[in-house]
A = this chain, B = another copy of it.
Amino acid sequence: MKCNVCKDTAVVSLPSHNAGFCAEHFFQFFSRQVARAIKDRDMFGPDDRILVAVSGGKDSLGLTLELQRQGYDVTALFVDLGIPGSSDAARRRIEAFCQARDIRLTVKECAAEGLAIPEVKAATTRPICAACGRIKRHIFNRTAREEGFDVLATGHNLDDEVARLFANTLRWDLSYLAGQAPDLPGEGGFAKKVKPLFRLTEFETANYAFLQGIDYHVDPCPYSTGASFTQHKALLADLEHHSPGQKLAFYKLFLRQGRAAFQALEQQEGGAVLAPCERCASPTATGVCVVCRLREQVARAGALPFAKGGR
């Protein structure tokens, strides 16, 4: 197969775009998809300060690099979850990545806030992945707001977005469907949030990271019992295989048509009323926010002589 642009040997084949590219022109394709996402959804401009949440994986590091290459003002944010054998390895890779490419890095440690994930896991009966997600988003949002960033960017790719949309649709989860988008406005205590990789598949972000020589973190989280979206992703891959381009079409038509229906219903019924958390001032519908309640549970568990976590 030959590169669509220069006719050199292609290194990446993209059936959904009916195209193949050499490394150089794949980077060009990738940049254009990111630029188009940013422009179409009015994500941010050249003067905005962008905080990119990084996990150390291919998507978030690829996004950070690409935004820097496009000349944006980028700062990476790593939330150190304090998970033994995992968080340290991710952190070292991110520090090396940022240092080598001269990218500003901010690190927040869950342990410093009484929210180290192993302690949260020991102190609660809730599924740890849900609690961990809440804590990370809480810290992302607080950091973006307190440190004056204009926008918070995450590395979610098209497959992440479509798998999530598919799962939300299978359950007809109305509030999640009303709230799913690659750009959410900054309002009511929330920082503006964007997903500039939403037009690119996981295959494309993996190729980008590989071809750019990014040394990314690949080990799954030791607490994850296998991503819940794995089966849906396989099924959607099957759909894409039969009709290349269907995944992006499903997501784009949702944004253009479907989402308005869920927003109309939310408007008709009146959504949840959010107010600042009584402890930390983050927006919440429950008086004291989930993260503050988790922090209190961890503190109580730690104060017990036979804390669950200590046995």
Query: Which residues of A are at the interface with B, using a C-beta cutoff of 8 A?
Result: 169-174, 177, 231, 235, 238-239, 242, 246, 249-250, 253-254, 256-258, 260-262, 264-265, 268
Contacts and interface: CB of A to CB of B under 8 A. Distances in A.
8 closest A-B pairs (Cβ-Cβ)? A172-B258, A261-B265, A261-B261, A264-B265, A172-B257, A172-B253, A264-B264, A261-B262
A242 B229 CA distance: 13
30 contacts: A169-B169, A169-B258, A170-B246, A170-B250, A170-B253, A171-B253, A172-B250, A172-B253, A172-B254, A172-B256, A172-B257, A172-B258, A173-B257, A174-B258, A174-B261, A231-B239, A231-B242, A235-B238, A235-B239, A238-B238, A260-B265, A261-B261, A261-B262, A261-B264, A261-B265, A264-B264, A264-B265, A264-B268, A265-B265, A268-B268
Contacts of A242: 231
A238 B242 CA distance: 15
Contacts of A268: 264, 268
Nearest to A259: B172
A170 B177 CA distance: 14
Nearest to A173: B257
Give the interface SS of chain A, mostly helix, strand, loop or mixed.
helix
Contacts of A256: 172
Nearest to A171: B253
A131 B128 CA distance: 54
A239 B242 CA distance: 17
A33 B305 CA distance: 55
Contact of A257 (B174, B238, B246, B264): B174
A222 B246 CA distance: 29
* A242, A246, A258 interface centre (most CB from chain B within 10 Å): A258
A110 B253 CA distance: 38
A260 B177 CA distance: 13
Given A170-B253, A235-B239, A238-B238, 14 more contacts: A169-B169, A170-B246, A171-B253, A172-B253, A172-B256, A172-B258, A173-B257, A174-B261, A177-B261, A231-B239, A261-B262, A264-B265, A265-B265, A268-B268
Contacts of A246: 170
A279 to B, nearest CB: 33
Contacts of A174: 257-258, 261
A266 to B, nearest CB: 8
Contacts of A258: 169, 172, 174
Nearest to A232: B239
